[in-house]
Amino acid sequence: WVKRCQYQYKLYQEGKPSNLNAEKIQMLDDMGMVWKRRADSWNDRFQDLVAFKEKHGHLNVSPELDNSLSDWVRHQRTHWKKYLADPMQSILTLEQVTQLESIGLELNLRSSKWQQRLEELREFKRVHGHTMVPYKYPNNQQLSSWCTTQRRFYTRLKNGKSSLLTHERVEELKD
């Protein structure tokens, strides 16, 4: 119930339709309602992440560099996925998601890895004049495996079966 109230309060603050009004909010305030759980600790960890980026020049926080911050970043990605599915089921707010994106944190690692492999494929084409990366390409086995997977996904997509390859990505591959 408290979590629902907090979500409705967040909607109210953003000027969106909410089950709460000023009178209900005042009543809950009078009872000692805590509207923003974890907000202060979240901001502290966010500032730690900003400091990490300033020190290291990137946001790839590995457990070896900072185990606690690495866990926090992993949890932000998990909560971002929940936020996309249903904002009410996530402890992240739109403002927090925006803050994470504003400093360049890649929340969708799959998309990031896919884009990285696409750039590697473009470089392969620039060097070799084609995109037929050999099955066991010794210079970049990850690219080789990725290409094999994309071909398999493309075949499934062409045959009307479920595929993780989207039509948008097919267009990117054609470029």
What are the tens digits of pLDDT across the range 133-164?
998 899 999 999 999 989 998 998 899 888 77
Q: How confident is the model at residue 40 (pLDDT cuts 50, 70, 90)?
A: low
Task: Determine the Cα–Cα distance for residues 131 and 137; give it in Å rounded to an integer.
Answer: 12
Q: How confident is the model at residue 175 (pLDDT cuts 50, 70, 90)?
A: confident
Nearest to 152 by CA among 137, 139, 135, 136: 135
**Residue with more model confidence, 30 or 130:** 130
% of the chain beyond a pLDDT of 70:
97
**Is pLDDT of 124 > 90?**
yes
Exposure of 49 in the CB half-sphere (CA atoms within 13 A): 26
Q: pTM for the full model?
A: 0.50
Task: Determine the Cα–Cα distance for residues 69 and 35; give it in Å rounded to an integer.
Answer: 25
Task: Determine the Cα–Cα distance for residues 142 and 121; give it in Å rounded to an integer.
Answer: 11
**Is pLDDT of 108 > 80?**
no
pLDDT at 39: 52
Q: Both tokens of residue 127?
A: 């060097």
**Residue with more model confidence, 77 or 33:** 77
